[in-house]
Amino acid sequence: MAFVSLAPGQMPGNPFEMIGKEWMLIAAGDRTGCNAMTAAWGALGEIWNKPVSFLFVRPQRYTYQLLERCGGYSLCFFGEENRPMMQYMGTASGRSEDKIAGAGLTLAFEDGVPYFEQARLVLICRKLYRQDLEEGCFVDRQTLDQSYPLRDFHRMYVGEVTRVLLRR
Ligand SMILES: Cc1cc2nc3c(=O)[nH]c(=O)nc-3n(C[C@H](O)[C@H](O)[C@H](O)COP(=O)(O)O)c2cc1C
């Protein structure tokens, strides 16, 4: 296998850089159909005595439908040479084309959760919680107005990180 399995606490890297600067692919679906999208908003941390990821996904995304349908998802991190692929996965929609084939990505499954062979690091996650962001919950009005002028709020997902796969 091209990956070694690590405990979440052994994951290398800085999550601020990994998510916010390098970006990640959120992959969701099952053997009947998969899709993935680029995400630059999210978090890694701890809650309910579990290592978790937080995602923020707008309902317009095709990936949202798969996140809703399936019990798990993966977060896939790539090297800088994959930036054009990340741009493509973050602008095209799986609703109108097969993005996985279009990007030349090779699909694999771990515990029934899709991920990509080309990734340098993969977090396999089990969905625990979801909730839509709400206008009335924003403490900072500027953040609300800057990020949601159309009030098209994200749905937040919290997933337990069940496996960390690092490329050998
Ligand atoms: C750099 C970058 C970061 C993005 N981050 C997010 C995000 O965190 N949440 C989100 O809902 N969409 C985000 N997007 C937008 C989706 O990736 C984009 O709408 C994508 O085309 C959705 O694909 P899908 O319809 O196949 O799911 C981001 C796009 C880019 C380019």
**Which residues sit opposite 43 in a β-bridge?**
54
The total number of structural domains in the chain stands at: 1
Distance 140 CA to ligand 1 centre (A): 24
Helix (H, G, I), strand (E, B) or coil at 68: helix
Nearest CA to ligand 1 atom 16: 90
Domain of residue 30, CATH code: 2.30.110.10
- Write the pLDDT tens digit of every residue in 95-137: 999 999 999 999 999 999 999 999 999 999 999 999 999 999 9
Query: Does residue 59 line the site of ligand 1, with CB under 6 A?
Result: no
Distance 36 CA to ligand 1 centre (A): 9
Domain holding 52, by residue range, is: 3-167
- Write the pLDDT tens digit of every residue in 4-57: 999 999 999 999 999 999 999 999 999 999 999 999 999 999 999 999 999 999
The rounded distance, in Å, linking the Cα atoms of 29 and 36 is 9
Query: Does residue 53 line the site of ligand 1, with CB under 6 A?
Result: no
25's CB contacts (< 8 A; 6+ apart) are 36, 37, 38, 39, 75, 76, 78, 86, 89, 116, 119
